[in-house]
Amino acid sequence: MDKMKRMKELVKILKEASKAYYQEDREIISNFEYDKLYDELVQLEKETGVVLAGSPTISVGYEALDELPKEAHESPMLSLDKTKDVEELRAFIGEQKSLLSWKLDGLTIVLTYRDGKLMKAVTRGNGTVGEVITGNAKVFKNIPLHIAYQGELVLRGEAIITYSDFEKINKQIEDVDAKYKNPRNLCSGSVRQLNNEITAKRNVNFYAFSLVKAEGVDFYNSREKQFCWLKEQGFDVVEYRVVTGKTLDEAMNYFAKQVSQNDFPSDGLVVLYDDIAYGESLGSTAKFPRNAFAFKWKDEIRETTLKEIEWSASRTGLINPVAIFEPVELEGTTVSRASVHNISIMKELELGIGDKIQVYKANMIIPQIAENLTRSGNLNIPKICPVCKKEARIIKTNEVEALYCMNDECQAKKIKAFTLFVSRDAMNIDGLSEATLEKFILKGFIKDFGDIFEIEKHKDKILSMEGFGQKSYDNLILSLEKAKHTTLPRVLYSLGIANIGLANAKLICKAFQYDIEKMIVAKEEEISRIEGIGPVIAKTYTEYFADEEKLKKFRHLLSHLKLEEVKKEENSVLEGKQFVITGSVTHFANRAELKEEIEKRGGKVTGSVTSKTHYLINNDTTSNSSKNKKAKELGIAILSEDDFIKMAGI
């Protein structure tokens, strides 16, 4: 095969896989496969002397998302060069005193302290720009909010969630599809929450691994002295051993034995030169610093035989292939099944019943198929859903093929609709978990949303159900009574109409003065004219209410509800004004609360600065952030919270 053509293919595959993993918290190829393809690309780049634009060997990390404010790092955060060969690691160390520590598998965070207080926390992001998560960092389990040192301190470390907390949190999630795949995904979602109350409940830990700046402190040219000083300031520092090339084996043996007993996730080790000046004098490549090196554990791989593929239907309609194989011992436990994730991966592996396959545990946790030695490819992809027995079809999205159930009435999809309906932002009904909803649906207690409020008809049968006593029943009835008193936007959102979230539901209700009858008969053109509502949303909205059966069920639901009367805000000073909020807030609990105050007064909040924006709210009015720059270019006023409070008359 042409080397340049292969390199282009590899760059495309690896970029998509990296985006899925880091930015969307999903996995389209296994870690084993990623490393294999990455190494192949590195080798081809050496052979050709060419590094293509966008190659993951020169780009770092993932792009920051828009949900959190972005900020550039003072100095770029590079990845580490890595090896699985102990002798290569030994050669790197040579005679230099070095620190060998865990390579933790979480989310890298940069902390800044001034005057003894935590001022800022930023995620690694793409290595140049990260997301500001200061409010979340303040509720990490072990971060000191005040320290003795009064100068400016900048340090880096890893935010992680332990295996025990990961398992505890996953046990509380009854919906199988909503469970987190590994501690890293859980940590990533927890650290980047918009509401730090959720972060606080997740027991996120922070372990320092690098001191970037501490003005006026003499560390005697030693990284170890920096670690010791950080401990004195109240930080937990990543566990390490002092090594040279000659003493490396003893430390490696310790870490190799300890890794299986750890309650925290790690995917290898890091070695760092102790001599600060020497390490910095080496500089860095475009991607890697030359003063540190990473060691990745060799995966424990076992050969086994594929017995069958189990097709598992989810609440989204996605039907996942799950490989069932002869049980093998991996990392101290017996495993016999592994998710194949999607049809693309199944085809790539050319799986067939009876094939000899190699399996391993990604990061010593999640069973995966590393390789198919036989590659018979004799599997038949089902054409019917395993739940409803109706049509199943392969759909290709972003070059990834996956199997979906096409039946809107599929039981799995019904559960999804009811789960949204009872969720906090919709009808907010406590006591109806997804597992309970599934039982009620299967027993025929609820067929449409209105039936939920008639559940008392089935009181005797419910009380006889396992795990559902009188107290649980009474609490459910109280919750239903409370849920009957709600708002029209919540009801509209709860219907699960495609692309209509709570914000869009509010816009539609407001446009029709909360007149339900006008909203039901509205034409597509009328909905499209609402600012912020496009033709796609207008089409799905009008199609929903044009369906007589859906309209009948909607009226059935309304018959049980007592909608709050909408009062016109006396203070409409923000009517027609469009705002963008960025950065952290202090006067409000969070940015969502500030957004609510704006909307109450007739204003609108969007995510990006455009020519339609009237005001940008940012407490750091003089910063050079991208949003501030854009606002200045467009002549848009930048307000602090105090400025906004005066304007709104709060």
The one catalytic residue in 103, 413, 414, 595 is 103
Residue for token digits 């795949």?
Answer: 181
Residue-level pLDDT at 58: 67
Q: How far apart are CA 129 and CA 63, in angstroms?
A: 8
- 0.85 cut: is pTM over it? no
- CA 489, 645, 67, 365 dihedral sign is negative
Strand extents, DSSP E, 161-225: 205-214
Long-range contacts, stretch 168-173, CB < 8 angstroms, 24+ apart: 169/202
Q: pLDDT digits over 541-558, tens only?
A: 999 999 999 999 999 999
Q: How confident is the model at residue 61 (pLDDT cuts 50, 70, 90)?
A: very low
- Ranges 191-195, 255-259, 494-498, 632-636: which has the least confidence: 191-195
Cα separation of 619 and 623, whole Å?
A: 9
By the 8 A CB rule, do 119 and 93 touch?
A: no
Q: What is the pLDDT of residue 62?
A: 37
- The residue-averaged pLDDT of 208-218 equals 94
- Coil, strand, or helix at residue 482? helix
pLDDT at 121: 94
Residue 127 structure tokens: 């290595």
Give me the pLDDT at residue 177, please: 54
Q: Give tens-digit pLDDT for 79-119.
A: 888 888 899 999 999 999 999 999 999 999 999 999 988 99
> How many C-beta atoms lie closer than 10 Å to residue 27's C-beta?
21
Q: Residue 120 — φ and ψ, nearest 5°?
A: -160, 145
* 287 and 79 Cβ atoms separated by less than 8 Å: yes
Share of the chain above pLDDT 70, in %: 93
Which of 234-243, 314-323, 333-342, 637-646 has maximum average pLDDT? 234-243
Each residue's pLDDT tens digit, 327-362: 998 866 788 999 898 999 999 999 999 999 999 887
The verdict on whether 103 is a catalytic residue reads yes
Q: Are 577 and 571 in contact (CB under 8 A)?
A: no
Top pLDDT among 35 and 485 is at: 485
User: Three-state DSSP class for 468?
Assistant: coil
